[in-house]
Copies of this chain bind each other. A is one copy, B any other.
Amino acid sequence: MKGDSSSGLAIETRPKSRSGKRVGGSRRIRELTRLVERLGITNTASVDWHLLDLALTHPSSSSLANYQQLEFVGDAVVRLAASELLLETYPQAPVGDFAAIRSILVSDRVLAEFAESYGMDQFLLMAGSAAKNKAGARSRLADAFEAVLGALYLSTHSMSLVRPWLDPILKEKADQIRQDPARQNYKDALQEWTQAHYKVLPQYQVEETGQGYDDPERFTAYVWLKDHFLSQGKGRSKKAAQQAAAQAAYQQLSK
């Protein structure tokens, strides 16, 4: 049903990178071994090094053989790992809470944080021009993290190389989210909640209502679900006002 670890994937045919440097050489393998050791993976014999190499190759380094396909799989891997972990760890929590916490666990912000904690940026092959794009750093790291999960999952077609090291960091983060809701991204949480319960997205509207740049209540955001007004919030930026509105709405709905 599955064939071997990577049969048929486009990512198997490995062209040289644009720079002409052959990736996947023995120096690269030594590098990747360091990362795998950092993750605490002991069963290194099952790691598909070719996939792991791809997972840490940014599209700017190779337009054909890069992390995009693995990221697509990894996105589903982290979602499943988070689902299992939440169910095992908080068996009594309402399903709506699971969905909200999961949406935060799999967000770019959190995944980039995880990637950073393992220093994954050091292992990511990319063109210098891409590296200069600081604004894109978060999504780059999150993408690479998902791709690494995809590579490890596809190495064995199971969670055996993933959950032993991912579970503890997911659990730590989930505990933080539950204990200190202020760490949450309430816009994501509200969106996940309304989709789970009503299959619609909340709608926001923002107005400038305050006294200019320094006013902590410069913007007011309003949030609706279909035609039903949910809540409002204020903030120094449009984003902060939306988060405040989402927080009020989320806390009200999830009661």
Contacts and interface: CB of A to CB of B under 8 A. Distances in A.
Interface in A1-47: 1-3, 7-12
A163 B88 contact: no
Interface stretch (A65-73, A115-123, A126-134): A65-73
A80 B83 contact: no
A73 B68 contact: no
Contacts of A76: 76, 79-80, 82-83
A98 interface: yes
A72 B88 contact: no
Nearest to A13: B91
Given A76-B80, A80-B80, A7 B88 contact: yes
Given A12-B91, A79-B80, 9 more contacts: A8-B88, A9-B88, A10-B92, A69-B87, A71-B95, A72-B86, A77-B80, A84-B157, A157-B159
Contacts of A201: 201
B95 A69 contact: yes
Contact of A2 (B12, B84, B86): B84
Main secondary structure of the interface of A (DSSP, over half): helix
A198 to B, nearest CB: 11
Contacts of A139: 199
Interface string A127-158: 00000000000010000000000000110011
A88 B10 contact: no
Contacts of A1: 163-164, 167
A244 interface: no
